[in-house]
Structure 1
Amino acid sequence: MEPTTGTVDSKDGTTLAYTRYGSGPTVVLVDGALAAQEFGPNKALAEALSSKYTVYTYDRRGRGGSGDNLPVDIEREYEDLDAVIDLAGEPVMLYGISSGGGLILDYLRSGRTVRKVALYEVPFVVDATRPPLPDDYLEHLHSLLAQGKNGDAIKYFMRQGVRLPALLVAAFPLFPGWSHLKTVAPTMAYDIQYVAAFQRGAKLPADRWSEFGIPVTVIAGSKSPEWMRNANAALAQAIPGASHRVLPGQTHLVKAPVLAPALIEFFG
């Protein structure tokens, strides 16, 4: 079955672009920071899952073919996910990568419910295996975005938030995707709200995710940095009944042919 594209309106009237793949039980894929349907890992994953599932990808607000309405309010992103889920007309399963996983965690805490949830490398920092966020991280990032310094904001996020090497970050303007990154940079104001509170090097709270009552799996890559692997092991422990899996040879840029079988096994 060929993918079909369309749009759906969120509660506040924002138009969201989506793509539907395959047939079967429904899975909705949620991108992480700066990614979109045509710029990120979820398109390949949707194709890999489409032989067994109906898979929806969508451009989170402010990205790709989707609009945005200011001011930034994360409740609007919950309503966006509601709108995509409503397209299915049935209970769905969710997969979120990176801060997209953080969005899903907060979405469930808001009282929504789904069938199952799979998370890949939510970027929390729970120990001293990497430096925590600078104390003024949020203030500085918001300031750069408010001034329209999108390129500087991207570099700051990649260096201080993601902890990429300085030389690599300095070379970002030479990459083919630089124009896309600068265009969607303002959407980082959403993503940092899902993860920043837990990027300070402290243990995760014991009761924050204790009432989900649905199957959850937390996945990481064996070649990802130690801080990322430790954080996701801790997240799995903080969600009662959650399973934890490490994919051999994978990094934060997880490959769809490796991830898809793990998700198929979990989603069933």
Structure 2
Amino acid sequence: MRTVTSRDGTAIAYSTSGTGPAVILVDGALCHRAFGPSGPLAEQLKTAFTVYTYDRRGRGESGNTPPYAVEREVEDLEALVEEAGGGVSVYGTSSGAGLALEAAARIPGIARLAVYEPPFIVDDSRPPVPADHAARIEAAVAAGRRGEAVKLFMRQVGAPAVMVAVMSVFPVWSKLKAVAHTLPYDLTIMAGGQRGHALPAEKFASIKAPALAAVGGESPQWMQNSVRAVAAALPDARLRVLPGQNHMVKPRPLAPVLTEFFREKS
């Protein structure tokens, strides 16, 4: 484990594996280097790339300097881009894709961008996120009810009610609660993009890096619509549908798609 120092002094923990051009993986909600999809995906990519996995602020071994702002997370990623030497490829999943999009609009060192299912709600194909959702989760965290915060989040993202009801008896529960305080961060990143409105035409206009917007073929229609809207909004993007996949995309079918895209010459 190594660290870089973000602009506000926060230490951001990261690891690298493999050799080749740099690729940085950006996790979604509740995940970090020791828990989530980045580790298995890095294993698939390391034969072709130097893969950077990192703990977003407040998670794992990274620091957590208040107050939170999306700009601070962009600066964390910028510090990693600089550590990697610039000209890097970035892949983000779920709300981590939302963060990667924010970063690509502000960090010139991001040369190629891939996102998987950023959870924008761009029409009426599913109900919007309630206006008080973030406040309810923040209140639960502030009161020390981390389990309640996780359950509120899981219900909103569409986890089956039975799974939400029984998840507290599984070993993964303690890992989820350990980073529950960062759920408001992800909700802040996605704020304004989950109200059922079309993406503003100018939202991603400044992203010049070639981009790949990917979605699982088995993902719900609202997510299909979100990814198609992102692909249409980016100045230089293509859409890729991964047959048989959903929001919990498997690393084996995903890795070749990313490898092909990241290896292309601009």
- TM-score w.r.t. the length of structure 1 is 0.94
Aligned match of 2:52: 56
CA offsets 1:29-84 (integer angstroms, 9 cap, x no match): 00001101111001111111111111100011111111211221222211211221
Aligned match of 1:215: 210
Q: Is the 8 A contact 1:210 1:238 kept in 2?
A: yes
255-264 vs 8-17, which deviates more? Answer: 8-17
Q: Which letter does structure 1 place at the counterpart of 2:142?
A: A
CA distance in 1, matches of 2:260, 2:84: 22
Is residue 183 of structure 2 the alignment partner of residue 192 of structure 1? Answer: no
Is residue 170 of structure 2 the alignment partner of residue 175 of structure 1? Answer: yes
168-177 vs 5-14, which deviates more? Answer: 5-14
Equivalent in 3, 21, 25 of residue 7 of structure 1: 3
165-174 vs 96-105, which deviates more? Answer: 165-174
CA offsets 1:143-192 (integer angstroms, 9 cap, x no match): 222222111111111112x1212221111212221111111011112111
Aligned match of 2:124: 128
187-196 vs 255-264, which deviates more? Answer: 187-196
255-264 vs 166-175, which deviates more? Answer: 166-175
Q: Is the 8 A contact 2:42 2:51 kept in 1?
A: yes
Equivalent in 9, 12, 36 of residue 16 of structure 1: 12
Aligned match of 1:204: 199
Shift of 1:10: 1.9
Aligned match of 1:247: 242
Q: Is the 8 A contact 1:72 1:189 kept in 2?
A: no
Q: Is the 8 A contact 2:20 2:50 kept in 1?
A: yes
Aligned match of 2:74: 78
Q: Which letter does structure 1 place at the counterpart of 2:176?
A: L
CA distance in 2, matches of 1:194, 1:168: 26
Equivalent in 33, 41, 46 of residue 42 of structure 2: 46
CA distance in 1, matches of 2:86, 2:149: 39
**Segments of 4+ moved more than 4 angstroms:** none
Shift of 1:130: 1.5
Aligned match of 2:99: 103
CA distance in 1, matches of 2:27, 2:58: 13
Shift of 1:258: 0.4
Name the SS of the counterpart of 1:240 in structure 2: coil
Q: How many residues align?
A: 263
Shift of 1:113: 4.3
CA 1:54/1:224 → structure 2, altered by over 3 Å: closer, same or farther?
same
Q: Which runs of 5+ in 1 are unaligned?
A: none
CA distance in 1, matches of 2:7, 2:131: 35
Q: Is the 8 A contact 2:213 2:231 kept in 1?
A: yes
Q: Which letter does structure 2 place at the counterpart of 1:117?
A: L
CA distance in 2, matches of 1:96, 1:229: 17
Shift of 1:111: 5.2
Q: Is the 8 A contact 2:104 2:209 kept in 1?
A: no
Shift of 1:135: 2.5
